[in-house]
Amino acid sequence: MQLLPNQLVELHVESGGGTEVYRTRVEDTYDDLLIVGAPIRQGMLVPLRLGTRLDVQFKMKSNIQEGRFTNQAIIEKRFSATLPLLQLRLLGTWEKTQERNFLRLSVSLDVLFVAYEEGVESPPQSALMLDLSGGGFLLRSTHPFELDDEIRVSFNIKETQITANATLVRLVPTDSGVDYGFAFLDLPEQFRQVIIKFVFQRQITLAELARNSRG
């Protein structure tokens, strides 16, 4: 399997606080070498060290194959052309991975978010979260988002304040406009478990209420 230039990929890098996920784009490929744009977050170049091992992941959707694929790689070189680049050497073969399917819950949660516009943070803005899962959420906002936009979002689940980065993966048309489907980028596992537990418990409560109303 050979990636093509402009393919969107994710770099999954282990850190002391868990796994960091950086979205970037393939610029060139040659045999087992992969040239990608050096990831940028909040307007700053992410300082990834030479020799760092990471997982490269991408999604494929075609008439031939569909799914998420992953491969291990090591950062061999940093250099600049028209933009900062990383040279990655792939260490194995592309393998199809099983994507996690999270239970989704309809909610009505007030959230605050910061959008990144050309690397610059916007002032905090309020929005309404319409559904939530361990993998992402649906947002209603007056902000004019575009696909692949990234935000930092904050909201509360009971006594826990959750703050995480997310990227826009789908637009959901409505009668009054459009809602925005976001996927979490680097949600710490302890926050993901808080969300999963909240969604699961709420689903049980709703099921019991439905049974009682029929009885």
Q: Per residue in 26-54, pLDDT tens?
A: 999 988 999 999 988 777 888 899 999 99
Q: Is the pLDDT of residue 56 over 70?
A: yes
Q: Is the pLDDT of residue 68 over 70?
A: yes
95-97/40-41 β-pairing: unpaired
When mean pLDDT is compared across 70-79, 112-121, 142-151, 157-166, the lowest value belongs to 112-121
**pLDDT the model gives residue 108:** 94
Q: Is the pLDDT of residue 100 over 70?
A: no
Give φ, ψ of 133 to 5 degrees. -145, 175
**Residue range(s) of every CATH 2.40.10.220 domain in the chain:** 105-214
Q: Taking all residues of the chain, what is their mean pLDDT, rounded to a whole number?
A: 86
Q: Is the pLDDT of residue 156 over 90?
A: yes
**pLDDT the model gives residue 60:** 76
**Residue range(s) of every CATH 2.30.110.10 domain in the chain:** 8-97
The CATH number that domain 8-97 falls under is: 2.30.110.10
pTM for the full predicted model: 0.63
Averaged pLDDT for residues 49-74: 82
Whether 57 and 36 have beta carbons less than 8 Å apart is answered as: no
Q: Is the pLDDT of residue 64 over 60?
A: no
What beta strand segments (E) does the chain contain? 8-15, 18-30, 33-37, 40-41, 44-45, 53-61, 66-80, 84-90, 95-97, 105-117, 120-121, 125-132, 136-140, 150-157, 160-174, 177-184
**Local structure of 208: helix, strand or coil:** helix
The whole-angstrom separation of Cα 120 and Cα 66 is 35
**Using alpha carbons only, what angle is made at residue 104 by residues 205 and 158, rounded to the nearest 5 degrees?**
55
| Tens of pLDDT, residues 82-99 | 889 999 999 998 888 766
**pLDDT the model gives residue 81:** 79
Compute CA distances 88 → 16, 124, 130, whole Å.
Answer: 22, 36, 39
The CATH number that domain 105-214 falls under is: 2.40.10.220
